[in-house]
Amino acid sequence: MVDGTPLKTALDEGRYQPPSLWSVVQVVRIIAELLPLKVGLSHENLPASQLPSGCERCTQKLRAALERFNGTQDAQPLEELSCECQRKNALPIL
């Protein structure tokens, strides 16, 4: 994030945190039923603290699954993902 932007300021002040990758997976599973979708996975050289993530055990697995989804548009493999952190990091409304 660029210093001085409202989002970066909110991050620095603890008013914003990047979404969990589990939240991204949840949203992709819903939207993929409705229309073609591509998940932006560029890290733009941002530090890990500014990127959507899971835990140290699942972050790479989730990123790889979302990358595969971009190529296949098949959300079924996303339903088979799991990790101990999943419930803690999932959106409470979905």
Footprint on this chain of Zn ion (rule: CB under 5 A):
54-55, 57-58, 83, 85
Rounded to whole angstroms, what are the CA distances from 58 to 8, 55, 80, 88, 92? 26, 5, 13, 13, 19
* Cβ-based nearer residue to Zn ion, 37 or 81: 81
* Cβ-based nearer residue to Zn ion, 1 or 23: 23
* Cβ-based nearer residue to Zn ion, 59 or 69: 59
Report the largest interatomic distance among the alpha carbons of the chain, rounded to a whole angstrom: 40
Least Cβ distance, residue 41 to Zn ion (angstroms) = 17
